Chain A
Amino acid sequence: MIILTIPEFIGRFHPILVHLPIGILLLGCLFQLLTLNAKFVFLKPAIPMICLLGALAAIFSCASGYLLSASGDYDGNLVDLHFWMGISVSVISLLLYLMYWKAVKEIFLNVTSAALIILITLTGHYGGSLTHGSDYMTAALKGEASKVAIPPVPDVQKAIAYTHLVQPLLQNRCYSCHGSEKQKGKLRMDNISFMLKGGEDGASLIPGRANESDLIKRMLLPISNDDHMPPKEKPQLTAEEIAMLQWWINEGATADKKVSDLKQPAEIKPILLSFQTGAVLAKKTVAADIPEEEVEKADAAAIEKLKKVGVVVIPVLSNSNYLSASFVTAKADPAVLKLLEALNKQLIWLNLASASITDQTMGNIVKLQNLRKINLSHTAITDQGLTLLKDLKKLQVINLVGSKVTALGIIAPLTGLKELQHLYLYQTGVEQKDQAKLKAAFKKVSLDFGNYTLPFLAQDTTVVK
């Protein structure tokens, strides 16, 4: 809980108050410069009043700014600069007001006004830099570099833990408030020694004891907690990033040791690997649920005909042209199956569970080249019909539960399907002794033979009294 003293409280209004003198004085100066054109001379009488109001607002802003700077969370040099420039603005604007009463030459008024505009702009800019960080304006120009907190390293084991992993992370997530320019809570984090020294709440880093280090403790607090860091509106660290920091601290928070020189418990290894270039690529090779390439819209008339006979045909996601079809309330008559052919490019999921498809009518679906998932469970399909699946090279999931297929009939056509991931074979003609054979034939496929049973336990049926 932060308890504010009254001056500190007033100080916090500074960022709001400053907009008054900025707006009022800029208007005054603008009017003055406009009077260069004879058309605008009528503005003249308003200018002194505007300058006086602006000067008063500037004085109040200076006072509140001084109170805010006293909290000491800011970079000293920048604060000093902003402070004196703020005072100059007040003085010059007051001067400008007096110049109107002394009726000095028009040229002096114009020069002073122009100078004041420049001074206000600069003062405002430095003030903004104090609040948002000096790279606030340029960050947008630098692109999205800040999205990734840790730039991927080519070989994580050869990387220096602090320089290549920890420092970039802290730089992107912490330095803007706890760096060379601003030290919120009197804490600086741009160097290990600063972190050891800590801020108002003591050391933020205790080497060897990650979970006692303020750095980690605050990251692990619920995001709604006021003490949580980074503040909730700022980008947060991922679980992997926090785990990496914990590991680095537990391993002594060293400055120059390579990752390979530090002890690596089993659970940290995959996390470290994820910071390496190529880790992201490895994930992507897993076949996607839907094709990445675009496809043209399917024939609307064919879809309409299928819908009429009760087949559910909808896009797999709205604004995709890829389709799924389900026969949950429709009969798989040959004529209906024939209609699917018109959708052969778009149809990727087909559910024929309990539909009346047979070996004879299977011929109608072999043209569906893009099929990824097919459900033939509880159908009369046998090995003969299954051979027709061999050309559907994109198939990832095949459900044959409750059909008559056998081990031999499965191996021949389906081993050629390179994308296959799941094969469901519960209650098929596959016998117990064939299971090993199938497992050997489908090394990369998850096979589910089902037939799970649960033991009868006495406590299932008895009641505790």
Chain B
Amino acid sequence: MTRDELNAYRLVKEANEIQAAAYTRRHFLKESAMGLGALAMGALFGSCNFGGTKGNNPVLYDAAHPLLPKSPPFLGKAKSVIYLHMAGAPSQLELFDFKPELMKMNGQDCPPSLLAGKKFAFITGVPKMLGPQANFAQHGQSRAWVSDNMPHFSTMTDDVSFLKAVSTDQFNHAPAQLLMHTGSARLGRPSIGSWVTYGLGTENQNLPGFVVLTSGGSFPDAGKSIWGSGFLPSVYQGVQCRSEGDPVLFIKDPHGMSRDLRKASIDAINASNLEEYATYNDPEIQSRVAQYEMAYRMQISAPEVMNINNEPQYIHDMYGTQPGKACFANNVLLARKLVEKGVRFVQLFDWGWDAHGDGPANSLNIGLKNKCRSTDKPITALLLDLKQRGMLEDTLVVWGGEFGRTPMMENRNGIQNPYNGRDHHTEAFTMWMAGGGIKKGYTHGETDEIGYSAVSGKVDAFDIQATILNQLGFDHEQFTFPFQGRPFRLTDVAGKVIRDIVA
């Protein structure tokens, strides 16, 4: 070591010592408080299971194969779900909830006790009571009441469980639909179909796991958010398909584009996307790659599976399909075909059930009857067809709207509506479930003598979601996804499985 080197070494050593002397014990305690606090925080939050790598609800997302089938944590009775949503809210009082007492009150002023402190979407002042606008009879061994609006379905009462006292806290269509399908009246949560495909994947990798079919001439009021994936990876969002024409828009290769060229271009796009992924590690990029690949596979299998025209004539007769048109019956038949091919969740929306009485199409005596006529036979055929194919055992069918309708006749702005109609009603309405391990010929819940509110067996959207998840083999309280620093559930902090309707 030369003299210069030695001096330099001493200088550095001295500097280090002076610096070290500046760190007093007080300094150490002061500084380490933050560090120790952070350590403690980490330990505390570690038990909250961020990232879900510990504990019993791991993140089920495999970005490279997001839709591979997975086992449920419990033994589920149902493998697939067909959810028939009558958008606009069908009137329980003209379909399933028979109220002879209401008939007696027909035309009378609504008692103030039913109006005090209540808010309605349109009713103002004192409306008149409106008796049932349909004839009812008891059907099957279960002696369930069904009106003459649904002559076909009335033969199926011994196969379904009715929920007569469903309630909600949203009296407008969009939030009520969001609540029913995503567990929140606000936008941004994943829909139940997304949760289910996230949790179970899907058996058929050549088809989407979550298919949405709409009919009735309009989208449901809440729009595409009710089949959105919210904070789940976007690969789980519902894929909207059509029963007529191309099942998925732009599924055919464009003119001049050969199959090989299509494959080559998708490969090139995916290669470039994967490079991007290598740089940024954003799982959404992998989702995108998986979606391109699925779209390519779907080009081969979807046109065949989704073509209802290759079904025999007697099946068409049974469902009452209308070839060449976009209609509910066609969608229902398509739903059966999709489930048969391993699709996990098929969501049907049929628009036009909003019988306010403000016009003929929205009246109980015209519009509602026509909606019943266009859905009664297809729904009945679906149940029977699933049954005879041995599929009803593991396919859960759910029917319902987003809320119910008032026992009062609607008087918009205080003036009687021109046609018989009812306003939105949140306190009690009817839904039913069938198959997938649900009791047959059972009725849960009861409303008061005019069908205004629940007397027993009251359930809400969360309870229905909890029950659907239960039938698929999930405990809705354990089935979570980490987002914004906490595990989220479909049912948030509510929901109770409706054990009474589980077989």
Contact = CB atoms under 8 A, between A and B. Distances in A.
Interface in B378-421: 380-381, 384-385, 387-390, 393
Chain A contact residues: helix, strand, loop or mixed: loop
Contact of A222 (B72, B365, B389, B458): B458
Interface in A272-327: 289-290, 312, 314-320, 326
A320 B72 CA distance: 10
Contacts, number: 106
Contact of B314 (A449, A453, A455, A461): A453
B72 A452 contact: no
A320 B393 contact: no
A329 B342 contact: yes
B342 A317 contact: no
A326 B71 contact: no
A442 interface: no
B151 A399 contact: no
A459 interface: yes
Given A397-B390, A454-B381, A326 B73 contact: no
Interface string B39-70: 00000000000000000000000000000011
B222 interface: no
Given A399-B390, A457-B151, A465-B366, A314 B318 contact: no
A126 to B, nearest CB: 36
Contact of B204 (A329, A399, A426, A448): A329
B461 to A, nearest CB: 15
A399 B390 CA distance: 7
Nearest to A423: B390
B377 interface: yes
A289 B75 contact: yes
A328 interface: yes
A345 to B, nearest CB: 18
Contacts of A328: 203-204, 341-342
Contact of A377 (B73, B206, B390): B390
A31 interface: no
Contacts of A456: 317
A314 B151 contact: no
Contacts of A449: 388
Contacts of B389: 377, 399, 401, 424, 426, 450
Contacts of B370: 463-464
A220 B165 CA distance: 13
Contacts of A448: 387-388, 390
A262 interface: no
Contacts of A41: none
A448 B152 CA distance: 20
A308 to B, nearest CB: 13
A134 B72 CA distance: 44
A33 B145 CA distance: 77
B456 interface: yes
B78 to A, nearest CB: 12
A349 to B, nearest CB: 10
B323 to A, nearest CB: 14
A317 B69 contact: no
B454 interface: yes
B455 A220 contact: yes
B390 A424 contact: yes
Given A220-B455, A422-B393, A457-B151, A464 B366 contact: yes
A412 interface: no
A312 B203 contact: yes
A239 B456 CA distance: 11
A460 interface: yes
Contact of A464 (B317, B342, B365, B380): B365
B205 interface: yes
Interface string A428-464: 0000000000000000000011111111110111111
B109 interface: no
A238 to B, nearest CB: 9
11 contacts: A317-B72, A318-B71, A424-B388, A424-B389, A448-B387, A453-B314, A453-B318, A454-B152, A454-B320, A454-B381, A457-B377
